Structure 1
Amino acid sequence: MKPSTRPLTTAEIAALALSLAHMGSGPQAITARRGLRHAFEHMELDDEVIATTLETLTSPMPPATADRARTIANAITSRLVIRLHYQDVTGRITVRDVDPVTCMVHREYWYLVGMCRMRHAIRAFRFDRIVATEPTFMPARPHMVDNFLPFQGKRAA
């Protein structure tokens, strides 16, 4: 008897998509993205949001963003604080130490979600506004992913 399968969680989708996003555009990456698209076809998701989100999830990142995404993914996996040079909407750049929790896509943007040590609050940092990333050797405090998804709704990816 085949065990029943459960749908992917938002955190699992984010982890898979981040891994694919910084793979580049080689044959393996293309096949893997096609698999992710196939997985989405079998999920009940909000059609308005899903078209844009799916395109973002399954498109390769620009090389510089992909390099920063690898550093971010390594920090999440290693449970280490990451230092971000972050440009806000006004153009001001700040340096922030962040306990990284997860990455996610909301419509056409990738975000790093984590606890900002400068603001002492949960923040979502848009990848296209992250100017530079630096790995640190400081252990990150543990945080539950489910508490850190600012755009997550019942049916959102």
Structure 2
Amino acid sequence: MANVVKPNAHTLTTAEIAALALSLAHMGSGPQALTARQGLRHAFEHLQLDDHVVATTLATLTTPLTAEAASRARVVADAITGQLVVRLHYRDAADRVTVREVDPVTCLVHRDHWYLVGMCRLRHGIRAFRFDRLIAVEPTTTPARPHVAERFLPFQRRRRAA
């Protein structure tokens, strides 16, 4: 297959990057996954990687997840695609375990960690759940409420209403 270069290619949107990243996350570490990750690295070649946060995030994004985390990522991806609620067994930073039902919105990578971003029904708000703190992810048949991914980036400061 010949290499094709489009001179006026547009920059990927946040939602496109999240979808690509999640798709790669649950591919494991086989030959197709390696080729796909190399393709994603090429898509980011235009980025200035002198920014430590961007460089670390890109490295995390293109490194295969463990088999256990990849399995959880598959359940999350299916729930996002099927617009279904997931039940998370989650261990927070203080080592407390909770079970939460979440409307999954998207997944993203920030620095060294993968996150599931979703509307937490327990806390009644948007939350980011680190994949390495997910003990289990269970699919449900409950329809998730629709949420736009671009509104729920957890690392952005929110403007407070006056």
Query: How many residue pairs align between the two structures?
Result: 152
- 1:80-91 aligned at under 5 Å gives the runs 80-91=84-95
| Structure number with larger C-alpha Rg | 2
TM-score in terms of structure 1 length? 0.91
| Matching residue of 1:124 | 128
Q: Determine if contact 2:49/2:55 at 8 Å carries over to the other structure.
A: no
Secondary structure at the aligned position of 2:85 is classed as: strand
Gaps of 5+ in 2: 1-5, 158-162
Which one of the candidate residues 118, 134, 140 is aligned to 2:138?
Answer: 134
Gaps of 5+ in 1: none
Instruction: Find out whether 1:96 has 2:100 as its counterpart.
Output: yes
Matched-pair identity in %: 70
Q: CA RMSD for the aligned pairs?
A: 1.7
TM-score in terms of structure 2 length? 0.88
Pick which of 36-45 and 73-82 moved more: 36-45
* Letter in structure 1 aligned against 2:82: S
Secondary structure at the aligned position of 1:41 is classed as: coil
Higher RCO (CA < 8 A, seq sep 6+): 1
Q: Determine if contact 1:105/1:111 at 8 Å carries over to the other structure.
A: yes
Which one of the candidate residues 70, 73, 87 is aligned to 1:69?
Answer: 73
Q: Determine if contact 2:85/2:140 at 8 Å carries over to the other structure.
A: yes
* Letter in structure 1 aligned against 2:138: E
Pick which of 21-30 and 53-62 moved more: 21-30
| 4+ long deviations beyond 4 Å | none
Cα offsets for 1:95-114 (capped at 9, x unmatched)? 00000000000000000001
Which one of the candidate residues 19, 33, 36 is aligned to 1:32?
Answer: 36
